[in-house]
Amino acid sequence: MTETSYSVTGMVCAHCAASVTDEIEHIPGVITVTVDVDAGTVVVTSDRTLDVTDVRAAVEDAGYELTS
């Protein structure tokens, strides 16, 4: 398993976290998604290394910006 942390801007509430979680969970290989709105972080556990382009697209589809 792989655990990767990403910084995401624009999240301010539980609804934001749910939107980001829902989009990232659709990426093949994702096992869990943990969002910390206050810290602006998203930790993704997956069964393989994810392509950051896929994660960025999922975050943008949710209406937010991946900054790292």
Ordered by where they begin, the domains of the chain are 2-66 (3.30.70.100)
User: What one-letter code names the amino acid at 24?
Assistant: I
Give the model's pLDDT for residue 33: 98
| Dihedral pair phi/psi, residue 7, rounded to 5° | -100, 135
Give the model's pLDDT for residue 52: 96
- Which residues of the chain register pLDDT less than 70? none
Residue 9's CB is within 10 A of a number of other CB atoms, namely: 10
Q: At which residue do the structure tokens 């792989």 appear?
A: 2
Give the model's pLDDT for residue 68: 74
Spatial separation of the C-alpha atoms in residues 49 and 18, rounded to whole Å:
23
